[in-house]
Chains A and B, each alone.
Chain A
Amino acid sequence: MIRYLAKRGITYVFMIFLTTSAGYFLAVSSLKPALLEQERIPRPTPEQVANSMRLKGLDPDLSPWERYVEWLTGIVTRWDWGRSPNGAFINAEFGDRVWISTRLFLASIVLTLVIGVALGVYSAARQYKFQDRVITSYSYLAYIVPAPIAYFLVQLGAININETVGERIFFVTGISTPGIQPGWAQFVDMVGHYSVPTIAITLVGWGSYQIAQRQYLLDNVNADFVRTARAKGLTRNQAISRHALRVSFIPVAQSIAFTIPAIFAGGFFAEKIFAWPGVGSWSIDAISLQDVNAATATLAYGSIIFALGAILADFATTLVDPRVRVQ
């Protein structure tokens, strides 16, 4: 298993290198931070701009290849991913952003998985009954409604509650109130800030897991081996929960494995709407701010996360399916 993971790891490192390099060339040849600088008032002279860019390692006069070599040398020798046009260091910014994204999504992803899979099993066991129809219809609705709209609706709901109670219980944006006293007050403040985004993301997210788990389980409910289990003397529900469930969980486990790394990559809409400045919003901002190094860094990060997801998915599959052989 370890040899297998190592082999897969090497393949992915190579792929990440290729995508990141390609991304860097694309970014360096299309993003021109110098142009933005010129819109400042008072307008700086082109020499000033070029000078300031050169100091930050973003010399617009060098060819893309020269800048690529310089950038790559920085990463390989000093693990320095460069600077933004505003002078910020990518490495420093990055850690903060990942931590914010993680805090925003961690709880809701866990809830999404647990609720989604549980409801999937529950509705598959009651196929076409009232409960199944309600749950599955909701899941399709959550699929169809664009995430930003759903988030806004949850925010409006929270504001309504605040107004009804006449006190600010929920914070619809932001991570924490600045200058709060540590202790109980801080905990209450944290719950107030966390609950709205967590609930919103969970409500939108579980639908896809519910639909997938229900479908995979239904595929197996009438499988021959479930019939065998019933012929042994298990009731239908026992046969389903002991035999069909584990088999139907194999593809779901795979998709879950892909989801977990995505927590760290964040989500653009959620971060923007709830004003949590994480990785997702950063990657979009980088492009609008003509930030070559930040855009490339988020791309590299995305590739790494994807590779981790793929390895994790393989790992999850071997864990739940004894038929998979690792060679």
Chain B
Amino acid sequence: MSTFLEPADPAPTAAERLHIAGLHSPSDAVLSVRDLNVSFNSENGAVHAVRGVNFDLMPGKTLGIVGESGSGKSVTSLAIMGLLPTTAQISGSVRLKGKELLGLSDKAMCAYRGNDIAMVFQDPLSSLTPVYTVGTQITEALTIHNPGMSKAAKETRAVELLAMVGIPSPRNRLRAFPHEFSGGMRQRVMIAIAIANDPRVLIADEPTTALDVTIQAQVLEVLHKAQEETGAAVVMITHDLGVVAGIADDIMVMYAGKPVETGSVDDIYYDPRMPYTMGLLGAVPRVDVAEKSSLVPIDGIPPNLLHTPTGCSFAPRCPLVTDACLDGEPSLNPVPGANYHQAACIKSGSLGADVDVHDIFSAPPVPASRFDLMPRAERATVLELKDVRKHFPLTKGALLKRRIGTVKAVDGLSFDIREGECFSIVGESGSGKTTTLLEIMEFHKDQDGEVLIGGISNKQAADARTKSAMRREMQMVFQDPTGALDPRFTVYEVLAEPLQNAGLSKPDIKKRIMELMKLVGLQPDHVNRFPNQFSGGQRQRVGIARALAVNPKLVVLDEPVSALDVSVQAGVINLLDKLRAELGLSYLMVAHDLSVVRHISNRVAVMYLGKIVEIGEVDRVFDNPRHPYTRALLSAIPVPDPQFERTRERIILQGDLPSPLDAPKGCNFATRCPVFAALPAAKQEQCLTLEPPLGPVQPSRAVQVVETGPVPVPDQQFACFFPDGELDEHMLVVHETAEPHAP
């Protein structure tokens, strides 16, 4: 178990100063960081990006650094690696096995980089050189540090590494270029490069942020295996509290360039002592919790690091702030009664596991909609899809195009959305979620299948007037709030445009805009500002206001919070929840974050390769998933609960989503299905030849026995022949680290 440095007293003695400088770091620590400070010169002055980071990393252990964007976590890792631009001013001490790294020249640092200390970066798509083969890039890492190694030995080692990170037929893949790999595969290659020389320290900077959940689970598994094989200590940097819950031993929470709470993983998750940590934990929706409670929003934005804070840097956003908080920045102090659980808060003594975060942050009450009590069948239908298909021909040849196949992006989709309901579509990228949205927005009579929006069908005269009537029924909120707003339009102009189209008079438009600003929680006097003067969360609120301007019944949400930081995300989710209840809106949401989906949705559809494989009420589908894909998807989501994460069994799907070209004949999912893999050959035949239809879940025997009258069919349908089949044990993983993590 690693330890955090005892905090410095206000007036440190000489011995303590030496201690801080790293001369007395624990001899067995593989990496010791002391008082690391990094600042960059900008046009407006020095930006102090990292302010006093201390930690010791023990061999084989994992430290999770958690924080939102701009908290200084990536800069810390780059400073340790010596990869910051030369204009950065770095002070403090970074010791690797007792040797000081800070101040080494680029050349001297090269002896350590990639050898003793290696790094995996966030974006696997851009982190590999596009013009060299994967084999060349792995071999290069070997050549640099082992000049005498023979060519054959290097190739053998490269094959071994690729096999270790789970790349099929590694010998052939050595000659493949990065663009021939999927994102998850590229990240595996990155890990292979990083562990090529058996590093003592492996730094992973958001290694799974750019990946799908199922692929994230695979990559985390590979990292775990790599750590076991090499015995390396790992620094895991992430903004996702779920990702580190299961794999970290210790956590350091960073805010405004400073560690604000450090401790063992259990301390941080079960006994947080800093309001920011508590807020972060409360802001994340849980995929495994059915009971609905509002998320904890943290108002405001992180401070500007141009100015050194005079008080606690979190004070402007903290609900517990008092005058004492503004008097000098609190340092990390041991939490009363704990050994190395430290928090930078003067109130850490009075906080703890028994304090409800919802009370502190005054989370809004769960909004109730007037439709919630009405049975679903009695509510009006706002959107209905009947057997919608979108097939793209795949052609070859420039002049005479030959059709060599069909990409079935959306293949026979039928569902409906009732008033006051949130319906979500989930699935990996490439499953057809976005195409479904585009097909609904397209609303053209030549489409394959029928789309009914508020009773208007695309098959009826889809002329300009019908379309404009349809647009008033349905509006869209986009994923990237920055890209979706015209930077040269003020908020007033953004909001006025749809109203002008609807033919409102000028005074009416003005009145409506003021209403909208209040509705989405923005200050009405900010209407003359430009989008770049708002934070990401506020911009998304503008996007929501724009969608609501014409009073639609249905709002289409395309990944509405995925571009936002956790603390901001909670506020937007709460807003969406409130609007649905107050205005009786219906939502059609596409999201990859299943925790968000569970939190906000009433019904959910799981898509795989253009088809719905399971659909139904959200709690039924999430608590009792019947389709193996749904089971795998849910199992892949990390939960911010260390005990649960350490002990649970997870399904790790093999491989990526198959190319739509090689879509199997029978069940689409057969190639990756954990149930299929364990079936006897005779039953496998059925999966391979027949396509399972979407059928309702039968009420369980027990219910049928108890109930005498006709049993209502539950709102859950799935498409699988063997929903109760055994799972293939090769795809199941249980980590044997269930020993208690108490200090």
Contact = CB atoms under 8 A, between A and B. Distances in A.
Contacts of A236: 106
A129 to B, nearest CB: 12
Contact of B83 (A230, A323, A327): A230
A151 to B, nearest CB: 39
A233 B131 contact: no
Given A7-B399, A322-B177, A327-B398, A235 B107 contact: yes
Interface in A160-205: none
B115 A233 contact: yes
Interface stretch (B118-126, B673-681, B732-740): B118-126
B130 A224 contact: no
Interface in A234-252: 234-236, 242-243, 246-247, 250
Nearest to A325: B179
Interface string B616-648: 000000000000000000000000000000000
Given A232-B113, A234-B110, A225 B130 contact: yes
Given A224-B123, A246-B131, A231 B113 contact: yes
A228 B178 CA distance: 13
B108 to A, nearest CB: 10
Nearest to A250: B131
B114 A231 contact: yes
Q: In the complex, which of the residues A235, A242, A250 has the most CB atoms of chain B within 10 Å of its own CB atom?
A: A235
Contacts of B398: 7, 327
Nearest to A246: B131
A127 B399 CA distance: 46
Interface stretch (B56-64, B139-147, B310-318): B139-147
Contacts of B118: 231-232
A88 interface: no
A321 interface: yes
Interface string A244-287: 00110010000000000000000000000000000000000000
A220 B112 CA distance: 24
A236 to B, nearest CB: 5
Contacts of A322: 130-131, 133, 177, 179
B128 A228 contact: yes
A320 B113 contact: no
Contacts of A323: 130-131, 177, 179
Interface in B171-208: 177, 179, 190, 193-194
Contact of B131 (A11, A231, A321): A321
B396 A320 contact: no
B692 to A, nearest CB: 36
Contacts of B399: 7, 11
B129 interface: yes
Contacts of A224: 121, 123, 126-127
Contact of B193 (A228, A230, A243, A321): A228
Interface in B117-171: 118-119, 121, 123, 126-133, 140-141, 144-145
A215 to B, nearest CB: 18
Contacts of B145: 233
A229 interface: yes
Nearest to B400: A7
Kindly state the interface size class of chain A when it binds its partner. Answer: 20 to 34
Contact of A247 (B83, B112, B129, B179): B129
B396 A232 contact: no
B81 interface: yes
A227 B127 CA distance: 8
B121 A233 contact: no
Nearest to B144: A233
A36 interface: no
Nearest to A249: B131
A110 interface: no
A223 interface: yes
B83 A227 contact: yes
Contact of B127 (A11, A225, A233): A225
B360 interface: no
Contacts of B129: 225, 228-229, 243, 246-247
Contacts of B81: 231
B397 interface: yes
B111 interface: yes
Interface in B83-109: 83, 85, 106-107
A235 B83 CA distance: 10
A231 B113 CA distance: 5
A323 B181 CA distance: 12
Contacts of A321: 130-131
Interface string A1-36: 000000100010000000000000000000000000
Contact of A327 (B126, B131, B397): B397
A140 B640 CA distance: 57
A231 B126 contact: no
Contacts of B397: 327
A234 B128 contact: no
B106 A247 contact: no
A221 to B, nearest CB: 10
A11 to B, nearest CB: 8
A238 to B, nearest CB: 8
Contacts of A320: 131
A223 B131 contact: no
A83 to B, nearest CB: 38
A116 B497 CA distance: 51
A144 B194 CA distance: 48
Contacts of A234: 110, 140, 144
B113 A225 contact: no
Interface of A: 7, 11, 222-225, 227-236, 242-243, 246-247, 250, 320-323, 327
The 4 closest A-B pairs by CB, nearest first: A233-B114, A232-B114, A224-B126, A225-B129
Interface of B: 81, 83, 85, 106-107, 110-115, 118-119, 121, 123, 126-133, 140-141, 144-145, 177, 179, 190, 193-194, 396-399
Given A224-B127, A231-B113, 16 more contacts: A7-B399, A11-B399, A222-B85, A224-B121, A224-B126, A228-B127, A228-B190, A229-B129, A232-B140, A235-B106, A235-B110, A243-B132, A322-B133, A322-B179, A327-B396, A327-B397
24 contacts: A222-B85, A223-B126, A225-B127, A225-B129, A227-B127, A229-B129, A230-B83, A231-B81, A231-B113, A232-B140, A233-B110, A233-B115, A233-B141, A234-B110, A235-B106, A235-B110, A247-B129, A250-B131, A321-B131, A322-B131, A322-B177, A323-B179, A327-B396, A327-B398
